Amino acid sequence: MTEQEDPSRERLKNHFAQRVIHQARQILEIWQRLQGNEWSPPDLAELSEANQRLLRFAERFEQPEHSQLARAISDALQHIDANGGRLSSTLISDLNRLMQRLSRTGLRHGDQLEQTFLPPLRKPVYILLQDLDRAERLAKQLDFFGLGAQSITSVKAFRSAMVERLPAAIVMDVDFSGANLGLELAAQAQLGLEQKLPLLFFSLHETDTPTRLAAVRAGGQEFLTGTLEASSLMEKIEVLTCVAQYEPYKVLIIDDSRAQALHTERLLNSAGIVTRTLIEPIQAMAELADFQPDLIILDMYMPACTGTELAKVIRHNDRYVSVPIIYLSAEDDLDKQLDAMSEGGDDFLTKPIKPRHLITTVRNRAARARHLKARMVRDSLTGLYNHTHILQLLEDCTFRARREDRPLSFAMIDIDHFKRVNDSYGHPMGDRVIKSLALFLKQRLRKTDFIGRYGGEEFAIVMPDTDQEAAHKVLNTIRQRFAEIHYPAQPTDLCCTFSAGVVELKGDTDGLIMASQADEALYRAKNNGRNLVERYHPARPIATICMELQDSVTSL
């Protein structure tokens, strides 16, 4: 047996790689925790120490990608130290990009070609339901999609599991082991924990307000009723547990006073909030399109225009109707403040303002805006971006790719023979297949890719920094894996496939043209027998084809 085939060596390699990934996850958990605090020196010191451990482990266990990232994170932290411990938007953005890259090194993509031996290392999700069979089925479904889940059958088993290993999240039936006893059990489990665990309560039937209030007091972050479906549950768990999804809040500061703008910027940067400052308000719309902030801080009185006038201009654009606008001004006349808020503003803060007051207000407003925006731009069935928003993201990405001279690919996907699925197995099964593919795409694509439900059984994917060949390779692998899924049904299990078309940005092509080209490639995949991924190739002019035919005839 060769060294390469030695199974014990593979197990050892797997063990070492898991140690490195576990340390990477600790860094990501610290990073996520920092987002809720002002970045104090002890916080940064904790991040630095964890990163040094990652570097040692990665070098000792020969994990070059982790070694490279750990060195880059160390450099970024040294820049903060050299800057007197002060953060800047550039340093926050640099760190966030590195954390995003770190999150993709084996935490989710266990089936990449170069990592086939290494499953994602993740804490389990504990599932405690009165219906033990349902709990077991749910655990198996979550496990299939890469989210390790463990069905727990008794209070004693739960307490033993908590001592052995803390979970990523707990799904708790409010009536587990007795009426409303699940609430007490969950509350007890949180006692003494420095970081509270994500807790999702479940009730088979709709509950009254006192029960829901008790769930909140026990630390519940979600309350689910009725049918507990794997895909929707996974969506909620992912939001609560996935450290890699966090993006620092982005705030656009519009103030003609450079000194005041710099002061506001420094306060927000100290809390890990990315900022961009605009001294010339007349440039606001171009800056909004480029920066896409979560929130705008606006001075009331500026030479070129007033804050209320600019707020009206911003609100005229449908895309920015829901972006919170906070006026920050020395104006202390309450009537004028109220008038300003009626002209497109959401809040009014009076200078001078305490740093904590400003930071807390910005964080709360930005968090609420993100939550509302997610509801507005997401498809209700799959949680993916809706048709309108995925096309908007495609336009944004084409603009950025052209400006930075980077590759960009766009793909259209369509489930094969989907009408037959609905006709033969019913619409609930059709919805299940659609949600299954949505989850499959989210699990196997990068977090920097944008996935949308284009309509019906069609999906669209925007893939930044990806050329056509790389996009084709990734989608083809996903296509092969998706075809292996079995959906239990009668008289036989159901299997589904999809077809796809992919195109790369070329020249001055815009998003709508790319969508049309990807659709053309998809149509060709359907015509060529389905269950294919086709690249887009520009059609040759009719005149060229005629000339080639004429040459062929002449040669004969």
The mean per-residue pLDDT over the stretch 111-133 comes to: 61
Chain-centroid distance of CA 319 in Å reads 21
pLDDT for the residue numbered 174: 92
Residue partners of 125: CB distance under 8 A and separation at least 6 = 142, 147, 148, 149, 150, 167, 168, 169, 170, 171, 237, 241
Strands 408-415 and 250-254: unpaired
Higher-confidence residue of 66 and 123: namely 66
CA dihedral 145, 230, 133, 131 (to 10 degrees): 150
* Tokens matching residue 539: 């059609």
Q: How far apart are CA 251 and CA 293, in angstroms?
A: 5
Q: Is residue 12 over pLDDT 70? A: no
Q: Confirm if 459 and 452 have CB atoms less than 8 A apart.
A: yes
Q: What would you measure as the largest C-alpha separation in the chain, in angstroms?
A: 92
> What class is the 387-535 domain?
alpha beta
Count CB atoms within 10 A of the CB of residue 155: 16
The mean per-residue pLDDT over the stretch 474-486 comes to: 89
pLDDT for the residue numbered 10: 59
Q: How far apart are CA 147 and CA 434, in angstroms?
A: 19
Q: How far apart are CA 133 and CA 114, in angstroms?
A: 36
Q: How far apart are CA 40 and CA 281, in angstroms?
A: 33
Strand order in the sheet with 347-350: 274-278, 250-254, 295-298, 325-329, 347-350
Q: Confirm if 115 and 104 have CB atoms less than 8 A apart.
A: no
Looking at residue 333, its amino acid is D
Count CB atoms within 10 A of the CB of residue 140: 12
> What class is the 256-376 domain?
alpha beta
Q: Is residue 98 over pLDDT 70? A: yes
pLDDT digits (tens, 9 = 90+) for 137-157: 888 777 766 677 889 999 999
Write the CATH number of the domain with boundaries 125-244: 3.40.50.2300
* Tokens matching residue 467: 């050329």
Q: Confirm if 237 and 198 have CB atoms less than 8 A apart.
A: yes
* Tokens matching residue 495: 């299997």
pTM: 0.63
